Amino acid sequence: MHKGGRIIASLIIFVGLFTIPFFYNMGKANAGPEIDAQQLANFQSIEPSINMVANHPQLFNQWRNQFVQNGQTVYVNSEGKSIDISLEKLAGDSSNQFCVSCHNYTAVKPTCWDCHSGPEGARK
């Protein structure tokens, strides 16, 4: 084992470089997305917030299928409130930042706006 020292030194350097990001962020608080309080006050959730955080992609896919396949244009939520099946009407002008800030924070690129006019303002 003539090269044992070099191998061990290389492993130590590799492990050190690999763990730098973990040690660098240790103990730092996660800031979370920045949401304007006025937009949050004006935002009307479709379902209770806990359900929407976890299940909104599935809900929007269900909306799409109901609208395209069945022609259904109104969704009745768990509280009995009728809501138009429309991302444009749901998002409006003031709440786009609400959706965008959370999606940017989680590094998610939603495909909702591929077919709808959205935060970019362009219709494909």
Residue 56 lies in a domain: yes
Residue 17 token pair: 């470089």
Structural domains of the chain, count = 1
pLDDT tens for the 124 residues of the chain, in order: 578 889 999 999 999 999 998 888 888 877 777 777 766 666 677 888 788 888 888 988 888 888 888 888 888 888 888 888 877 776 555 556 777 788 888 888 887 767 765 545 444 4
Residue 28 lies in a domain: no
* Domain boundaries, position 85: 37-114
Alpha helix (H) residue ranges in the chain: 4-25, 37-42, 49-70, 87-91, 96-105
Residue 44 lies in a domain: yes
Measured between alpha carbons, how far is 114 from 100 in angstroms, rounded to an integer? 14
